[in-house]
Amino acid sequence: MVDITFLPSNKVVQLEVGTTILQAAISAGVQVESTCGGKGTCGKCKAQVMTEIPYLTSPTEKKFLNASELEAGWVLTCQHTLTQDMTIRLQEQKDVHQRKTDFAGVVHTALAPSVRKYFVTLTRPTVEDQTPDWDRLVSSLPAPQAIGFSRSVAATLPKVLRQGEFQLTAVLDGNRLLAVEPGDTVGRCFGVAIDIGTTTVVVYLMDLNKGTVVTSGAVTNPQQAFGADVISRITHASSGSDKLRELQEKVIGGLNGIISQLCQERGIRTEEIYQAVVVGNTTMAHLFLGIDPTYLAPAPFIPVFRQAVGVEARELGLNILGIGMVVVLPNVAGYVGSDTVGVMLATEADRLPGVSLIVDIGTNGEMILTGKDRLLTCSTAAGPAFEGAEIKYGMRAAEGAIEGVRITTDVELEVIGGGKARGICGSGLIDAIAEMFKVGVISPSGRYAFEPNQLEKLPPLVRDRVRKTERANEFVLVWAENSATGEDIVLSQKDIREMQLAKGAIMAGIMILVQEMGIVPQEIDRVLLAGAFGNYIKKESAVVIGLLPALPLERIHTIGNAAGDGAKMALLSMEERARADILAKMAEHIELSNRNEFQQEFIKGLDFKGDN
Ligand code: FES
């Protein structure tokens, strides 16, 4: 066994010689980006070896690391195994959600949670009245005959009763007695709404009395280390029951970390959280529940379950009251999950007037087209380009990421955190490509302009940035002297291609839904962009690159994390939870893989048309 220390957190783990540094980081619970899940194809898992030890640079590292990085001891963590005690410095990761703190707010839904608290004063037992404690309590609660016996509550009851001088608060979830607390604690009643994204997990700590968000937190999904997309996670989970458990433990560990932190910040005990409502894509729901997702990956993409699921928290190890219910909202299909049902709930998709297109862009793109008494859904594997993966200088929307680009006489950038750029995130990429297309740096087919007649139309400072190198044709977004990494930050022809594939898939999905409804895109009355990513992209750029149909910009609205809002609504209202079931059943899922038109629409969607 050897000791490995990770900086800057100073976390130490003891592991066997032969374990990869990436696996060691996963065991230590420290964050390393590893889009390819350790296959050596993404180049994202960089770290600096601080211990002086000899090691051989692999050909993969020569491809992804420059000479100065190699000189300074930077390696790809998936390419090296532990040989002795080592200290490794990781790249600092700051999540996008840390700059977006204002999640708090009132959720607009009639407040009717299934969890209620009742303060009761009971008569003291006497020799004449020898009613058992349980019966004495239950007879004072609503619908006593429906309340079943709970061993765990009964176990605490005699002490709680006497501690509170026969005044206590009972916590009921429907007809389940969840807990008894001495005295009057009616004012403290909490739940969590959870959105498990492939990339980010978000927890909203909710006050069930007021219907408000007390606070919220987010972290990168710790399963990220096993690959950026759902297919890599399914592949990992399928390789053995211990691997499935590992993925389940990772996500639950991540959630527990946020829950503990939020509770600590607000002086709330985790046992005062009596219920959790969870949304996520179908794969994430399977992994969260520890259910084998193997058959979701190949056609015909069969999930194990579709209905809403309720499990006691202690069965999953989720850090709320042990016998509190964890409710996972229903899925629609293998690739349209409860997160999309959450979006439908939050937008009241079935009640919107006219025709509405709702798009949730993440690692997968889920689309809903609603109108003409139909609720159509589909999903496309958009590829992780929007998350910055598969892009040479791509990164998540974290500090140092270029999130906005404008090209006039030269390139102007917006960088998260305001410092020097380290890379580019999805919204920056969309902006950069839209701007490059508008000024003529790239042609409608996505190729860089190198013909003299094309180049001469570009402003001189922009023209200098278009270059051919041994590696690729590329555009320099940031010159080395202005970048945080000391090297040029470029967009290569391959990066543009990745974005074309991603947006082509989204547009093809939209077009098939539109055709299925028998309308043309111009008949769409409103486009709602859901998800954190939707919040940041510039509508105009999305239309220019053809990620969205060419509609007047005033018809396009961003609606934030609607999936999370749906989870909050289902936590706060039994009626909304019942509506989630109805919406999941109402939704018609359009499977794109067996549509002949998909390929045609996909090819049409690859070009940049710039319509607006
Ligand atoms: Fe190491 Fe992708 S190259 S995880």
Per-domain residue ranges for the chain?
Answer: 2-91
4 Cα to the center of ligand 1, angstroms: 19
Which residue's alpha carbon is at the smallest distance from atom 3 of ligand 1?
A: 40
Task: Tell the burial category of 401 from Cβ atoms under 10 Å away from its Cβ (0-12, 13-18, 19+).
Answer: buried
21 Cα to the center of ligand 1, angstroms: 11
- Name the H helices within 87-211: 133-138, 151-163
Ranges of beta strands (E only) in 499-540 are 526-530
Ligand 1 pocket residue status of 384, Cβ below 6 Å: no
Which ligand 1 atom minimizes the distance to the CA of 77?
Answer: 1
208 near 113, Cβ under 8 Å? Answer: yes
Query: Phi first, then psi: what are they for 424, rounded to 5°?
Result: -135, 140
Which ligand 1 atom minimizes the distance to the CA of 32?
Answer: 4
* Cα–Cα distance measured from residue 513 to residue 187, given in angstroms and rounded to the nearest whole number: 47
81 Cα to the center of ligand 1, angstroms: 13
Mutate to test the pocket of ligand 1, among 46, 78, 91 (most ligand atoms within 8 A of CB): 78
Mutate to test the pocket of ligand 1, among 21, 26, 44, 224 (most ligand atoms within 8 A of CB): 44
173 near 324, Cβ under 8 Å? Answer: yes
Task: Tell the burial category of 58 from Cβ atoms under 10 Å away from its Cβ (0-12, 13-18, 19+).
Answer: middle
∠ CA 583-589-590, nearest 5°, is 150
Ligand 1 pocket residue status of 36, Cβ below 6 Å: yes
**Sign of the alpha-carbon dihedral angle for 384, 389, 393, 395:** positive
For 2-91, the fitting CATH number among 3.40.50.10470, 3.40.50.970, 3.40.50.10860, 3.10.20.30 is 3.10.20.30
Other CB atoms within 10 Å distance of the CB of residue 392: 18
136 Cα to the center of ligand 1, angstroms: 62
Ligand 1 pocket residue status of 161, Cβ below 6 Å: no
Which ligand 1 atom minimizes the distance to the CA of 36?
Answer: 2
64 Cα to the center of ligand 1, angstroms: 10
Complex ipTM over 0.90 = yes
Ligand 1 pocket residue status of 43, Cβ below 6 Å: yes
* Cα–Cα distance measured from residue 229 to residue 215, given in angstroms and rounded to the nearest whole number: 28
326 Cα to the center of ligand 1, angstroms: 34
Query: Radius of gyration over alpha carbons of the chain, in Å?
Result: 27
Mutate to test the pocket of ligand 1, among 26, 31, 33, 34 (most ligand atoms within 8 A of CB): 34
Ligand 1 pocket residue status of 26, Cβ below 6 Å: no
Which ligand 1 atom minimizes the distance to the CA of 60?
Answer: 3
* Cα–Cα distance measured from residue 31 to residue 46, given in angstroms and rounded to the nearest whole number: 11
Residue 61, C-beta contacts closer than 8 angstroms, at least 6 positions apart: 70, 75, 76, 79
Which residue, among 507, 564, 470, has the nearest Cα to 367 in the 3D structure?
507
Ligand 1 pocket residue status of 42, Cβ below 6 Å: yes
Host H or E run for residue 401: strand 401-407
Mutate to test the pocket of ligand 1, among 21, 45, 224 (most ligand atoms within 8 A of CB): 45
236 Cα to the center of ligand 1, angstroms: 15
Instruction: Tokens for 86, please give them.
Output: 């080592």
430 near 417, Cβ under 8 Å? Answer: no
Quote the pLDDT of residue 92.
62
Q: What is each CA distance from 19 to 2, 14, 28, 48, 315, in whole angstroms? A: 10, 10, 12, 17, 31
Quote the pLDDT of residue 217.
93
Ligand 1 pocket residue status of 44, Cβ below 6 Å: yes
Provide the 8-state DSSP code for 449.
P
Mutate to test the pocket of ligand 1, among 26, 42, 62, 75 (most ligand atoms within 8 A of CB): 42
88 Cα to the center of ligand 1, angstroms: 16
Segments of the chain with pLDDT less than 70: 92-109, 383-384, 610-612
State the residue for tokens 């490509």. Answer: 433
Exposure letters 503-516 (e unless 16+ CB within 10 A, then b):
bbbbbbbbbbbbeb
Quote the pLDDT of residue 256.
97
Which ligand 1 atom minimizes the distance to the CA of 40?
Answer: 3
200 near 398, Cβ under 8 Å? Answer: no
Ligand 1 pocket residue status of 76, Cβ below 6 Å: yes
Ligand 1 pocket residue status of 80, Cβ below 6 Å: no
* Cα–Cα distance measured from residue 307 to residue 309, given in angstroms and rounded to the nearest whole number: 6
Provide the 8-state DSSP code for 32.
-
Measured in residues, the chain has a length of 612
* Cα–Cα distance measured from residue 491 to residue 275, given in angstroms and rounded to the nearest whole number: 46
Ligand 1 pocket residue status of 46, Cβ below 6 Å: no
Ligand 1 pocket residue status of 38, Cβ below 6 Å: yes
* Cα–Cα distance measured from residue 332 to residue 317, given in angstroms and rounded to the nearest whole number: 26
Ligand 1 pocket residue status of 47, Cβ below 6 Å: no
* Cα–Cα distance measured from residue 475 to residue 466, given in angstroms and rounded to the nearest whole number: 5
Which residue, among 382, 397, 379, has the nearest Cα to 592 in the 3D structure?
379
Which ligand 1 atom minimizes the distance to the CA of 34?
Answer: 4
236: left (phi over 0), alpha (psi -120 to 50) or beta: alpha
